[in-house]
Amino acid sequence: MVEIKVYEWKPMDVRGMTVINGFPSAGLVSTITANYLIGALNLEQWGALDSEDFPPVAMIYDQKPKFPARIYANEESKVAVILSEFTPLPHLVRPIAGMMLNWSKENECKRIISPEVIYVKPGGDELRISGVGSTEGARDEMKKCKIEQFSQGMVSGVSGILLNEGRMQNFDVFALMAQAHSGIPDARATAKVIETIIKLVPTIKVDLAPLYEEAERVEGFVRKLREQAQPATEPSTPHSMYM
């Protein structure tokens, strides 16, 4: 049985916060979203996650070791981001989703938002964002925010488990998916996802003007690190923009 421990670095009132899932999935959308929000909102490291099943690595920044999975938060913006430096192996997906949901409920967080990307066949440059809500309340909220709802298909990985468990436990989970094709950079998809997150979380104050330019810079940074990094199942020394 996989056990995931949550370590708290500093006291912080996370009640009512929106939790952003930053565990990598298809493409780089979730990773870039997490990194961008941490930087743009000046989120502080609240704690870290650890497990014997996580890759045996330490992130080194400013001469200090960091856990490969961490929690950042800010009481003013009412946002918490769970950032991971590694893509979870299949046997970790359910434990990670369960930990995230349990932690959010125990700390009286408001909702979980999980960014995704769905690759479709090329058919122009249109970039559509759609969402799935775990509860009727979540779906009603998307209607009010004029967010297109994903009506049929499949959501896998951590996002898929979060949706199912959120429905079972009556907790609001939003999977926001950028429907893109291989010709559309992940940075553009990320920018659209963040714009959609802002609709749901008005406490997020981000200047949208430089968003696309900044997202492209982050995309290049993340892609370079992934090219240099070894698979997460092997000892390696990946890096993050925000330690």
Mean pLDDT of 154-173: 96
Q: CB under 8 Å to 121, separation ≥6 — which residues?
A: 181
Domains of the chain with bracketed CATH: 5-209 (3.40.50.10900)
pLDDT digits (tens, 9 = 90+) for 9-29: 888 899 999 999 999 876 778
Q: Is it the case that residue 239 has pLDDT exceeding 50? A: no
- Give residue 135's pLDDT: 98
- Give residue 219's pLDDT: 62
State both tokens at 9.
């670095």
Indicate the pairing of strand 111-119 with strand 79-84: unpaired
Comparing 37-46, 187-196, 202-211, which segment has the lowest mean pLDDT? 202-211
Alpha helices, DSSP H, located in 10-156: 29-40, 90-106, 136-144
Residue 228 banded pLDDT, cuts 50, 70, 90 = low
Closest CA to 25 of 81, 99, 76, 89: 89
Closest CA to 96 of 74, 59, 56, 68: 68
Q: Is it the case that residue 200 has pLDDT exceeding 70? A: yes
Q: CB under 8 Å to 191, separation ≥6 — which residues?
A: 211, 212, 215
Comparing 55-59, 78-82, 87-91, 125-129, which segment has the lowest mean pLDDT? 125-129
Q: Is it the case that residue 210 has pLDDT exceeding 90? A: no
User: What are the beta bridge partners of residue 177?
Assistant: 116, 130
Longest dimension (CA), the chain: 49
Q: CB under 8 Å to 208, separation ≥6 — which residues?
A: 195, 198
Chain centre distance of CA 28: 10
DSSP 81: E
Spatial distance between the Cα atoms of 20 and 84, rounded to a whole number of angstroms: 11
